[in-house]
Amino acid sequence: MHRHLSLLTIINNELHVIVSYFCIFQKVITDKPLTQAPPIRSIDKIILPEVISRSGSHKIDIYEIIKPYCEVVKLELVFLAGRPFEKKKLTSTCCAALLREGTITKNSDQISEQLDYYGASLNINSSLDTINFQIVCLKKYFSEVLAIAEDVLINPTFPLKELDILIKRRIERLKIDAAKNDIASYRKLTENIFGPNHPYGYNSKKELYESINRDDIINHQRSCLSKDNCTVFMAGDIDDSIRFRLDSFLVCIPDYPEKTEKKILFEPSEEKILKLDGSTTQTSIKLGRKLFSRNHRDYHALMFVNTLLGGFFGSRLVSNVREDKGLTYNIYSLIDTHLFDGSFIISTDVTPSRVNQTLKEIYNEMDRLCQEPVKEEELNLVKNYLSGTFINFFDGPFNSIRAIKSLVLNDIPISELKSLLDISRTISSDQIIEVSQRYLDRNDFCEVVVG
């Protein structure tokens, strides 16, 4: 009982101290209330990270951002092994999903147990263009974790049982997605923009999954996961010992004689307005047009226009369609870029009775950008927003190396970072009208409504 009383006494004393500090703080606030918000200052200078680029006897390009004494290393191997390089549709995503399911010496459980032992992560994912190996681990375990990754990359077995399970899961996922208007509208829009056989236009289907066999996966691995398709990005506590171990690993990556050239078959649909049946609760609206990849000369100017139109919460579409008219909870526009192509997309979900009014307001905002000068206040708002976003891209070594990866893969020289930032900071109202007239003509857009 005495122990309980002592504990209660300690707690009461601590509470008394906390209450006393709160009262003092409250008095300060009361005596000197804050009547003005802190001043908003524009970002005049952005310090960019130092990027080290090198290669070795393996002839694989490596990009590094060093953060001494952090004791962590992040390594990413990016292979050009996505859809444009497939011999058979959907093999890239299936290959990426199965790589960690077993090697000649270990099954998937043993691989996971070893990674857990070292407190490391090995993530293998695929995009439309690439298959990525990403490792994050403590510096002192880098060699051991890299040995696990080497085994997974070079000695995968692609178990037939796991392939069957993967295909069944993907087919079940398709059934669920088919009932979602938002997904159905996006699939139809991209197919309409690029064509049903384009790498960015074809849709996953039950028949495509069922046609995939183990040999297809092995062929994709052997033709794409090779040295000449690989670029390496690394950040963290990097020194010569880390580099030496990495180089010894990269030398072991196969250089398969069987190569696959990218296939781009562009065959867009002539249909501009598509209405499909779907769930009657909410109607999904998608507007879109074909664009270009990130290394196009107009990309950064159009990115500014996109931000102004629907690229952030203070954009015109949000202010008009969401806040003023109350037609939707969320509306946005985006530039969806890939290595070899891209698209401009506007998306929202509304009740069925508000479809026509919403479309009218979207087109009105597009027309305004094509015709009316943007006021200086709004122009500065977007410039400051993009400058802040740019800073976030380079907040720490791990974010920075991800931004560098985007530049390198899109063939944009790292030396052009400052000039790219200057485009967003110096764009004028006249330039916005010019770019908008070039890319926001409503006649160039496909309109998909599902609901």
Q: What is the pLDDT of residue 11?
A: 44
| CA dist., res. 378 & res. 369, Å (int) | 12
Q: Are residues 215 and 81 in the same domain?
A: yes
| CA dist., res. 131 & res. 97, Å (int) | 10
For residue 208, the Cα-to-chain-centroid distance in whole angstroms is 25
| CA dist., res. 274 & res. 269, Å (int) | 11
Q: If pLDDT is split at 50, 70 and 90, which confidence band does 389 have? A: confident
Domain assignment present for residue 130? The answer is yes
Work out the number of other CB atoms within 10 angstroms of the CB of residue 17: 10
Give the total number of structural domains in the chain: 2
146 by Cβ neighbours in 10 Å (0-12 / 13-18 / 19+) ranks as buried
Q: Are residues 246 and 391 in the same domain?
A: no
Structure tokens belonging to residue 400: 């920075």
Q: What is the pLDDT of residue 38?
A: 72
75, β-bridge pairs: 135, 234
- Looking up residue 285, the CATH number of its domain turns out to be 3.30.830.10
Q: Are residues 373 and 298 in the same domain?
A: yes
Domain assignment present for residue 263? The answer is no
**pLDDT, tens digit, 9 for 90 and up, residues 149-196:** 999 999 999 999 999 999 999 999 999 998 999 999 999 999 999 999
Domain assignment present for residue 90? The answer is yes
Length of the chain: 451
Residue type, 37: A
Task: Please tell me which residue, 164 or 8, carries the higher pLDDT value.
Answer: 164
| CA dist., res. 381 & res. 307, Å (int) | 11
Domain assignment present for residue 371? The answer is yes
Q: Which of 202, 218, 250 is the last residue of a domain?
A: 250
Domain assignment present for residue 159? The answer is yes
Q: Which of 186, 217, 250 is the last residue of a domain?
A: 250
Q: What is the pLDDT of residue 15?
A: 46
Q: Are residues 441 and 379 in the same domain?
A: yes
Q: Over 60: is that where the pLDDT of 372 sits?
A: yes
Q: Over 90: is that where the pLDDT of 394 sits?
A: no
Q: What is the pLDDT of residue 70?
A: 94
**pLDDT, tens digit, 9 for 90 and up, residues 105-144:** 999 999 999 999 999 999 999 999 999 999 999 999 999 9
Lowest mean pLDDT among 4-8, 399-403, 412-416: 4-8
Q: What is the pLDDT of residue 44?
A: 66
Q: Are residues 215 and 297 in the same domain?
A: no
Q: Are residues 234 and 282 in the same domain?
A: no
Q: Are residues 218 and 281 in the same domain?
A: no
Residue 154 per-residue DSSP state: H
Q: Are residues 213 and 131 in the same domain?
A: yes
Q: If pLDDT is split at 50, 70 and 90, which confidence band does 270 have? A: confident
Work out the number of other CB atoms within 10 angstroms of the CB of residue 276: 13
| CA dist., res. 197 & res. 266, Å (int) | 8
Q: What is the mean pLDDT of residues 22-37?
A: 54
Q: Are residues 338 and 384 in the same domain?
A: yes
Domain assignment present for residue 256? The answer is no
β-sheet with 446-450: strand ranges across: 273-276, 446-450, 283-290, 342-350, 331-337
Q: Are residues 240 and 293 in the same domain?
A: no
| Mean predicted lDDT score pLDDT of the chain | 88
Q: Over 70: is that where the pLDDT of 259 sits?
A: no
What sign does the CA torsion over 292, 296, 300, 301 have?
Answer: negative
Domain assignment present for residue 7? The answer is no
Q: Over 50: is that where the pLDDT of 7 sits?
A: no
Supply the range of the domain harboring residue 106. Answer: 52-250
Q: If pLDDT is split at 50, 70 and 90, which confidence band does 3 have? A: very low
| CA dist., res. 243 & res. 85, Å (int) | 30
Q: Are residues 187 and 241 in the same domain?
A: yes
Q: Over 70: is that where the pLDDT of 27 sits?
A: no
Q: Are residues 161 and 283 in the same domain?
A: no
Work out the number of other CB atoms within 10 angstroms of the CB of residue 245: 15
CA-angle at 153, arms to 149 and 158, nearest 5°: 120
Determine the 3-state secondary structure of 196 from DSSP. coil
Domain assignment present for residue 267? The answer is no
